[in-house]
Structure 1
Amino acid sequence: MMQWGTRVAAALLVAGLVPAASAVAQPAAGGGTAALAKQLSTALAAQAAAGAPRFIAAEDPKDPARFVAAMVLPDLQLMLVSAAYKAPVLLRERVLTKKYQEAYQDLQAASVPEGKVVIEDLLANGLAVKPAKNQGPDVATLGGRTVTFDGLWRKAKIPEADYTAAFAAAEQEYTRLLGLLLAQAAVK
């Protein structure tokens, strides 16, 4: 009988979400989000005093009323929110004037709840389907459904396939959103 982590790795491998070498070597680790989360943290490193939160925000090209914003607490957590905003002109201005903290706060508090995405990446090291020993889990809210990636899908009373699918969807959307934020961080 396969171990849980091996089954998840196999499912992700079959789905084409992770390369074969990483699926076997690190079944609990996220795919490309680890590198992207680190790149974003590095790109924002000069933005604030050591240990202070760093912020970034960007428009989502998929929808002119939708935005993404993140707060990075170096080596602690990356909090990301993506949602539509009722007054996109206001948020667009905040992005253009690089008032990223205000954009992040606006998206957290006053965004349209339908379709809101919230990702809590503990340690800002990419999503993990199951946390490493003595580490807290990552959490994702997509489509109004929150999943804690603690590897305890039975305890959460969801089928393993749904847990794996939720992780794959979160990983895919997180990868896309991190890419948007990295592109914005590169804008001078």
Structure 2
Amino acid sequence: MQSDKHPKDHEPEPTHPLRWCATFIFSVLAVGVIIAGVVVFLGYLVYHPTIPIISVVDAHLNLFQYDLAGVLVTQVMIVVRTENDNTRAHASLSDMKLTLIFDGIEIAKLVAEPYEVSKNSSVDFNFVATSDSIPLNQEQMKDVDAYLNEDEIRFDLKGNVRARWRVGILGSIKFRCHLECQLRFHKSSGDYIPRRCTSKAK
């Protein structure tokens, strides 16, 4: 008859201290990430940050002189506004570089020194872009003739401005505003034909 013997139960090995340490560190990091997310979310609810924008609010075609030899001279006045709708944060802007283009030809560069826009405020820049004498090719001359017949002169405006503002606990936020639109004028009066010309964030 066999004796009734039970094998000795297997005792679990003690957890290595390094595992306890790693578990503790990961737990702390996880809690830190959750807290940071809550802080950012609450900060957004409190400050409701909005991105400052640049836009063309007015313009005028001061000169559009075109002779029979196909040489063009033009001058355009453009009012560019920067709006900061944040009620609790000032905005700092720099590297404003806009290019005025006519039928693929760069007419002028519009630049501005670094500047500040107070909270819930705006700043206007009055640019006057004057071209040199520009010899047009045959295709461009045809385009000008068509514009003159329509009494509608068209320019493209493209460029960027860098913006930064500090929003309470959210810290400093940086981004680039990109502006690209078409400006249209009546040749007969030089009046600007208003249309939406507002930046997008990149």
TM category (shorter chain) comes to under 0.3
- Which structure shows the higher helix fraction? 1
- What TM-score does the superposition give when structure 2 sets the normalisation length? 0.21
Identify the structure with bigger relative contact order (alpha carbons < 8 Å, sequence gap 6+). Answer: 1
- Which structure shows the higher strand fraction? 2
